[in-house]
Amino acid sequence: MINVATNVRIGIGASYRFVAGVSSHDLRNSDVSGLSAILTLKFGKF
């Protein structure tokens, strides 16, 4: 978390989801595997 103002913090993150063995004819492993990112803003008294 990085303080961007007195009462505001910002955070970033990333992850990768690897899935094997999906057993649906409408979905493939690559449909539910992949990169994910998150941006977090926190407001308050720290």
pLDDT digits over 5-36, tens only?
999 999 999 999 999 998 888 899 988 899 99
Rounded distance, CA 31 to CA 7, Å?
39
Domain around 12: 2-43
Q: Answer for the pair 43, 7: CB distance below 8 angstroms, yes or no.
A: yes
Please count the structural domains in the chain: 1
Give pLDDT, residue 39: 97
Strand segments (E) across 1-46: 2-5, 8-17, 34-43
